[in-house]
Amino acid sequence: MTRILRRIHLYAYFTSVLFFFSLGYPLLFYYARNPKKHYRKLVSFRRWISLAGIYAVGIRIRVEYETPIDWSQNYVLCANHTSFLDITILNYLCKSPFSFMGKIELLKNPVTRIFFQTIDIPVKRDSKISAFKAYKRALELLQEGKSLAIFPEGRIEHDYPPLLHRFKSGAFRMAYANQTPILPIVIQDAWQILWDDGKTYGAKPGVIHVKVLAPIIPNADGGEAFSSLEAEVYHKMKEAWNICNK
């Protein structure tokens, strides 16, 4: 019975997101014709659709900050990845204009497609050319003063309950190259509400807890400094993940 209810809730969630997306689509379509000019509006619409979609089905987000965050500063947001809801959580969290870097498959999703065609950055994992173009575009956005959201694990792994897996280096190379602070974000229990895409265990109402750690400023020293940055971020996120998942 529980599995049936969770399946119903999953369908209700996706229906809710599609409903709010459809409401805003005429304006979205207009703004998408000139994404550079309407960047902030597209970011605001993405946030509104995401949050309306979860609120309508009884999902809430509660955030704990290790230190106050200055949202006038741009960041490379690095979050662990266990749920389709992680995108919504970062939309809720980030108070300044930002772009996602995500898998190219999101261009096939009817809701995320318009954003990954305009303000977000699709990347094909197994293509060096795609990765280079995405890296170059991400650096351009950081240099323009925009923030960038990346899931440094690269994808949702098959472990259940989930673990924090080793990071890929891209986010840290970009942060180091542009001397942009990393903002580590530990999404504690989104997987209990909706794991991965929800196909296995469905979804349920509830509160998702998030811990935002203090920003980490890249060391300006040369060499492989981005590697030490990656190790520092991973260690701090791993420590926070272990504490909340005991």
pLDDT computed for residue 125 by the predictor: 80
What pLDDT sits at residue 243? 80
SS3 labels along 116-139? HCCCCEEECCCCHHHHHHHHHHHH
Residue 87 confidence class, pLDDT cut points 50, 70, 90: very high
Average pLDDT, the chain: 93
**pLDDT of 106-139, one tens digit each?**
999 999 999 999 999 999 988 889 989 999 999 9
Question: Which of these ranges, 46-55, 68-77, 157-166, 184-193, has the smallest mean pLDDT?
Answer: 157-166
- Give pLDDT, residue 220: 61
Query: Given pLDDT bands bounded at 50, 70 and 90, which one contains residue 1?
Result: low
Averaged pLDDT for residues 178-195: 96
113 Cβ contact list (under 8 Å, min separation 6): 106, 107
Asked if the model's pLDDT at residue 179 lies above 80, the reply is yes
Give pLDDT, residue 221. Answer: 62
Give strand pairing partners of 14: none
Give pLDDT tens digits for 52-73: 999 999 999 999 999 999 999 9
pLDDT in tens, 20-38: 999 999 999 999 999 999 9
pLDDT at 222 over 60: no
Q: Are 188 and 210 in contact (CB under 8 A)?
A: yes
Q: Which distant-in-sequence residues (6+ apart) come within 8 Å of 115 by Cβ?
A: 42, 46, 100
In this prediction, residues 217-229 reach a mean pLDDT of: 72
Q: Say if residue 227's pLDDT is above 90.
A: no
